[in-house]
Amino acid sequence: MADTFQAPRGTRDILAPESERWHVLVARFAHAARQAGYRPVIPPMFEDLAVFQRVGESTDVVRKEMFLLEARDGDARQALRPEQTASVCRMFAQHRPATPWKVFYSGSNFRYERPQKGRYRQFDQVGAEVLGTDDPDVDVEIIALAWRFFEQIGLRQVSLQLNSLGDGEGRANYLASLREYFGVHVGALSAQSRETLSINPLRVLDSKRPEDGEIVAGAPRMVDHLSPQDRAHFDGVRAGLDALHIPYELTPRLVRGLDYYTRTTFEFASAALDAAQNAVGGGGRYDGLVADLGGPGVAGVGFALGVDRILLACDAEETFGPPPSAVDVFVVSTVAGTDALELTAELRAAGIGADRAFDSRSMKSQMKAADRSGARLALIVGSQELESGNVMLRPLRADTHQQLVPRVEVVARVRAALDATES
């Protein structure tokens, strides 16, 4: 007996109609991004491990979730991408495009972690980045692009959380005061948070453990330690969001999981999803990353949105269903010969969506298939039609009668019938 196989852990097969929503979602995002002057980039699925290590040696993504590739010569250190921002920055450092460089992308990322609903080892993101300017208006444009996209696909329960992590001296001062504060209260922290503290004190702020709640709530806040320049930048971002009427919540505890973030950080959370996996997207500014990857010292800002989670949120909000069938006409034939073959090909060549049955099934069976196809019209060829040089045009979604039409006029008659039933 043959062995049976299943999709690897943390991956899944996406079949229609889910796969159809998926494609439409990505296409809608691409359209929105292109309308805002962003152009697509297609980075490789894997990179030198060192590229991803720049997202932060202290992050879980780098420390334990990397999909390493075993090279034939045994010493090439490469890994499947856990995200695409690092690749985009590497692309910039390599090709030095003119700035501002506005790009978008979509595709799979890989993280080796314990799967859950809405969290997979292979997961898809769409994202956009702007490199080469630190104008706060760009932060606003980036956030607005994601925000309008959520609106466009019908999500109403998404909220924007906003924070600034500062940079340079202000950031260093803040980290010092944070270490001091947690140092005093280390005994009251959970064991896990104590460990996190030694790796990256910032991330303790992100703890969801109840016993940490009080300590975290009383911790010093980055927004109180911003340098005058970073304060001005943050004020600029807020003013821009206000001008566009995009509501946001200031979330001082929002630190995000990647170490490269500076100044503006943000996250989109869906109230329609369970709390643990409610982030449908996030991003921020990363002004030092391109330089870390051997490029010029240019600023950058961007976001990534999780395709799987957006669709889960759409399910929860009952919006963005699968697209209607692309099949307009279903050809039914009970005669031997190439009539069904030719009719179907002729319709398709004329730009009319057409499908048919195979295996010489009974008319009843073929009509069932026609019904299921979602087509609005059935085109029936039987012996009577064949002899008289006609085909039977039968509406499937309307109460109007079927009619005989001359075979030679079929494309024009089908087109007229489709136009008539357009709603």
Give the span between the Cα atoms of 37 and 52, in whole angstroms.
Answer: 27
Give the count of residues interacting with RNA (CB under 7 A). Answer: 70
Is residue 397 a contact point for RNA (CB under 7 A)? yes
Give the span between the Cα atoms of 168 and 227, in whole angstroms.
Answer: 9
Is residue 267 a contact point for RNA (CB under 7 A)? yes
Is residue 257 a contact point for RNA (CB under 7 A)? yes
Q: What are phi and psi of 311, to 5 degrees?
A: -70, -35
Give the span between the Cα atoms of 113 and 116, in whole angstroms.
Answer: 9
**Which residue of 20, 60, 135, 315 would you call a contact of RNA, by CB under 7 A?**
60
Q: What are 306's strand-pairing partners?
A: 125
Is residue 118 a contact point for RNA (CB under 7 A)? yes
Site string for RNA, 202-241 (x = CB under 7 A): -x--xxxx--------------------------------
Is residue 371 a contact point for RNA (CB under 7 A)? yes
Site string for RNA, 287-316 (x = CB under 7 A): -----------------xxx-xx-------
Q: Least distance to RNA from the beta carbon of 56, Å?
A: 8
Is residue 253 a contact point for RNA (CB under 7 A)? no
The stretch among 159-167, 174-182, 199-207, 235-243 that binds RNA (CB under 7 A) is 199-207
User: CA–CA distance from 378 to each of 171, 323, 340, 416 (Å)?
Assistant: 68, 20, 12, 14
Q: Exposed, middle or buried by CB within 10 Å (0-12, 13-18, 19+), for 224?
A: exposed
Angle, CA of 296, 61 and 10, to the nearest 5°: 130
The stretch among 71-79, 178-186, 240-248, 275-283 that binds RNA (CB under 7 A) is 275-283
Comparing CA positions, the residue from 27, 133, 107 lying closest to residue 306 is 107
Give the span between the Cα atoms of 406 and 388, in whole angstroms.
Answer: 8
**Which residue of 19, 94, 192, 198 would you call a contact of RNA, by CB under 7 A?**
192
Tokens 């099949």 label which residue? Answer: 327
Give the span between the Cα atoms of 171 and 39, in whole angstroms.
Answer: 33
Considering the complex, state which of residue 319 and residue 383 has its C-beta at the smaller distance from RNA. Answer: 383
For residue 267, the 8-state DSSP code is: E
Please give the residue ranges that form the binding site for RNA (CB under 7 A). Answer: 1, 6, 8-10, 59-61, 83, 111, 113-120, 123, 125, 192, 196, 203, 206-209, 255-258, 267, 274-282, 304-306, 308-309, 334, 361-365, 367-372, 378, 380, 382-385, 392, 394-397, 402
